[in-house]
Amino acid sequence: MRMRRVAALMIVICILAGCTSTDGSLRASCTESSGEFSKQSQENPPTSRPLSDYCTEEQRELLDQTQENLPTELIFHDWTETTTSYKTTDGETIFEILQVLRETTVASKSFVRSTDRRILEFVTEDGDTCSFEFDGGKFQGADNECYVLSGDNELWKLVWAIREKDPEYQKLIR
């Protein structure tokens, strides 16, 4: 009998913790009894806006590039427990990643931060660079805030494929 009470109490605590979390992705699914979003959710409505709305001017210019003016190189920096970087010069891959970034939307602001950094660094023919930074899977916007993304699964599939094709990575897994 005591185990059931403890289990019931744990369930209630988990439910309450999920609805009061500072992570907007959880908060968006929780409503008050009146059916309205909480005040905090109203400040951060669960509507999607284009990623470009949260980008720097330099990032927006890169997203607006035509296929003829694409960057010539993309370096994926994966900074987790170790620091690794993977590079591609494949124009089709770079084009596809930029296209997915254009189609990705921001679902909500996130107050949760991590120590994992992922950076997509685009390099032009002239050597100029433009980076998109991600805190875990969340986009770090021009205002230095983090945002939960929607529609970014394809982005990460393409990015991880860069790692899989990298000769240095291939040496490591053999």
What average pLDDT does range 73-99 have in this prediction? 92
Same domain, 76 and 160: yes
Q: Judge if 81 and 158 occupy the same domain.
A: yes
Q: At residue 18, what is the residue type?
A: G
Cα 65 to Cα 104, 113, 130, 136, 157: the distances in Å are: 16, 31, 12, 27, 22
Per-residue pLDDT, 132: 97
Q: Which residue has the higher pLDDT, 5 or 162?
A: 162
At residue 166, the pLDDT reads 81
Confidence of residue 154 (pLDDT cuts 50, 70, 90): very high
Q: CA nearest 56: which of 133, 162, 116?
A: 133
pTM for the model: 0.69
Instruction: Give the residue numbers spanning the domain of 21.
Output: 2-43
**53 plus 72 within the same structural domain:** yes
Structure confidence at residue 33 (pLDDT): 32
User: Looking at the predicted structure, is the pLDDT value of residue 12 above 60?
Assistant: no
Q: How many CA atoms lie within 13 A of 2 on its CB side?
A: 0
Nearest C-alpha neighbor of 136 from the set 79, 94, 52: 79
Count of the separate structural domains present in the chain = 2
pLDDT per residue as tens digits for the range 18-70: 443 344 333 333 333 333 333 333 344 456 899 999 999 999 999 998 888 89
**φ, ψ for residue 17, nearest 5 deg:** -65, -40
Residues 79 and 14 in one domain: no
Structure confidence by residue, pLDDT tens digits, 88-123? 999 999 999 999 999 999 999 988 888 788 999 999
